[in-house]
A and B are shown apart, each in its own frame.
Chain A
Amino acid sequence: MAMEVEDLGHHISRKFNEDLEHVRSSVLAMGGLVEQQLDRAVKALSDADSQLGLQVAEDDIKVNRMEVSIDEECSRILATRAPTAGDLRLVIATLKTITDLERIGDESEKIGVLAARLASVERPSTNYRELRNLARHVKAMVHGALDAFARLDTKGALEVVKADDTVDEEYESIYRQGITFMMEDPRAISRIMDSTWMARALERIGDHAKNICEYVIFMVHGKDVRYTGVKNIEAEVEQGVRRQESRF
Chain B
Amino acid sequence: MTLPNRWTSQLAALAGWLVAALLLGWWFGGVGWWLAGALALYTAHVLRNVFLLEGVLDGRKRVLLFATRGLWAEIFARVDRVRAKARNRKKKYHRLLREVRESTGALSDGGIILNAEHEIVWFNPAATTLLGLNPAADIGSRIDNLLRHPDFVAYLAEPLPEPITVPSPREEGGWLTVQIIPYGTDQRLAIVRDITREVSLERTRRDFVANASHELRSPLTVIAGYLDALADDAEMPPSWKGPVGEMQRQAERMTRILRDLIELTRLEAAGGGAPLEPVDVVAMLELMAREFPAAGNRPAVSLKIESDVALLGSESELHSIFYNLVNNAVRFTPPAGTVQIVWKTEGDAAVFAVVDTGIGIPEEQIPRITERFYRVDPGRSRASGGTGLGLAIVKHALQRHEGKLSIRSVEGQGSTFACSFPAARVAFRGGVAQAAL
- Set A29, A33, A151: member contacting B138, Cβ < 8 A: A151
* A143 and B146 alpha carbons, distance in the complex (Å): 10
Binding site for A on B (CB under 8 A): 132, 134, 137-138, 140-142, 144-146, 148-150, 152-153, 167, 169, 172
Alpha-carbon separation in the docked complex, A24 to B144 (Å): 11
Q: Which of B138, B145, B150, B167 has the most CB of A within 10 A?
A: B145
* A153 and B167 alpha carbons, distance in the complex (Å): 24
Q: Which residues of chain A are near B167, meaning CB under 8 Å?
A: 39
Report if A29-B144 is in contact (Cβ < 8 Å); known contacts: A35-B149, A136-B172, A143-B169.
yes
Q: Does A177 contact B (CB under 8 A)?
A: no
Q: Which residues of B contact A36 (CB under 8 A)?
A: 149-150
The reply to whether B148 and A31 form a contact with Cβ atoms under 8 Å apart is: yes
CA distance A124 to B149 in the complex (A): 32
Q: Can you name 28 A-B pairs with beta carbons within 8 Å?
A: A1-B137, A1-B140, A21-B142, A24-B145, A25-B145, A28-B145, A29-B144, A29-B148, A29-B153, A32-B148, A32-B149, A32-B150, A32-B152, A32-B153, A35-B148, A36-B150, A136-B172, A139-B172, A143-B169, A146-B148, A147-B132, A150-B141, A150-B145, A150-B146, A151-B134, A151-B138, A151-B146, A153-B137
Q: Which residues of B contact A28 (CB under 8 A)?
A: 144-145, 148
- Closest CB-CB distance, B88 to chain A, in whole Å? 38
Bound together, the chains give a CA A32 to CA B140 distance in angstroms of: 20
Give Cα distance in the complex from A240 to B213, angstroms. Answer: 63
CA distance A28 to B153 in the complex (A): 10
Interface size class of A (residues with CB under 8 A): 20 to 34
Chain B interface, >50% SS class: loop
**A139-B169 Cα distance, complex, nearest whole Å:** 10
Bound-state Cα–Cα, A21 to B144, Å: 12
A216 to chain B, nearest CB (A): 13
**B residues in contact with A24, CB < 8 Å:** 145
> In the complex, given contacts A32-B144, A32-B152, A33-B150, what are 19 additional A-B residue pairs having Cβ atoms less than 8 angstroms apart?
A1-B140, A21-B142, A25-B142, A28-B144, A28-B148, A31-B148, A32-B148, A32-B153, A35-B148, A35-B149, A36-B150, A39-B167, A143-B169, A147-B132, A147-B146, A150-B141, A150-B145, A151-B134, A153-B137
User: Which A residues are CB-close (under 8 A) to B153?
Assistant: 29, 32
Interface set, chain A 27-63, CB cutoff 8 A to B:
28-29, 31-33, 35-36, 39
* Shortest Cβ gap from B154 to chain A (Å): 10
A32 and B354 alpha carbons, distance in the complex (Å): 44
- List, in ascending order, chain B residues with CB within 8 A of A32's CB: 144, 148-150, 152-153
Q: How far is the CA of A36 from the CA of B167 in the complex (A)?
A: 10
Q: Mark A126-159, 1 if CB is under 8 A from B, else 0.
A: 0000000000100100010011001101000000
Roughly how many angstroms separate A24 CA and B152 CA in the complex, as a whole number? 17
A98 CB, nearest partner CB in chain B, Å:
14
Residues of A within 8 A of B142 (CB): 21, 25
Output the least CB separation between A57 and chain B (Å): 16
With both beta carbons as reference points, the residue of chain B lying nearest to A33 in the complex is identified as B150
Bound complex: CA A172 to CA B302 (Å):
69
Closest-by-CB residue of B relative to A140 is B172
**Most chain B CB atoms below 10 A, which of A21, A25, A32, A35:** A32
Residue of A nearest to B167 (CB): A39
Chain B residues, CB < 8 A from A139: 172
Contacting residues, chain A, for B150 (C-beta < 8 A) = 29, 32-33, 36
The answer for the CA separation of A139 and B144 in the assembled complex, in Å, is: 18
Q: Which of B148, B149, B167, B169 has the most CB of A within 10 A?
A: B148
Quote the shortest CB–CB distance from B175 to chain A (angstroms): 13
Task: Please give me the residue from chain B that is nearest to A1 by CB atom.
Answer: B137
State A65–B141 Cα separation when bound (angstroms).
26
Q: List B contacts of A1 (CB < 8 A).
A: 137, 140
Contacts of B145 in A (CB 8 A): 24-25, 28, 150
Instruction: Tell me the complex Cα distance, A153–B140, Å.
Output: 15
Inter-chain CA distance A25–B142, complex, in Å, is: 8
Closest to B137 in A: A151
Which chain B residue shows the least CB distance to A36? Answer: B150
Closest-CB distance, A130 to chain B (whole angstroms): 16
Question: Nearest-CB distance from B320 to chain A (Å)?
Answer: 20
Q: How far is the CA of A147 from the CA of B141 in the complex (A)?
A: 11
What chain B residues lie within 8 Å of A29 (beta carbons)? 144, 148, 150, 153
Closest chain A CB from B355 CB (angstroms): 38
Bound together, the chains give a CA A29 to CA B150 distance in angstroms of 7
Chain B residue numbers with a CB within 8 Å of A153 are 137
User: A33 contacts which chain B residues (CB < 8 A)?
Assistant: 150
A170 to B150, CA, bound (A): 30
Q: Report the minimum CB–CB distance from B135 to chain A (whole Å).
A: 12
Closest Cβ of chain A to B119, distance in Å, is 10
**Shortest distance from the beta carbon of A94 to any chain B beta carbon, whole Å:** 13
Residues of B contacting A151 in the complex (Cβ-Cβ under 8 angstroms): 134, 137-138, 141, 146
Candidate in B140, B144, B150, B153 with the most chain A CB atoms within 10 angstroms: B150
Q: Which residues of A contact B138 (CB under 8 A)?
A: 151
Nearest-CB distance from A242 to chain B (Å)?
17
- Chain B min CB distance to A108 (Å): 14
Identify the closest chain A residue to B138 (Cβ): A151
List chain A residues, Cβ under 8 A from B152: 32
CA distance A238 to B183 in the complex (A): 43
The answer to whether B144 touches A25, judged by C-beta atoms less than 8 angstroms apart, is: yes
**A-B residue pairs, 3 tightest by C-beta:** A32-B148, A150-B145, A28-B145
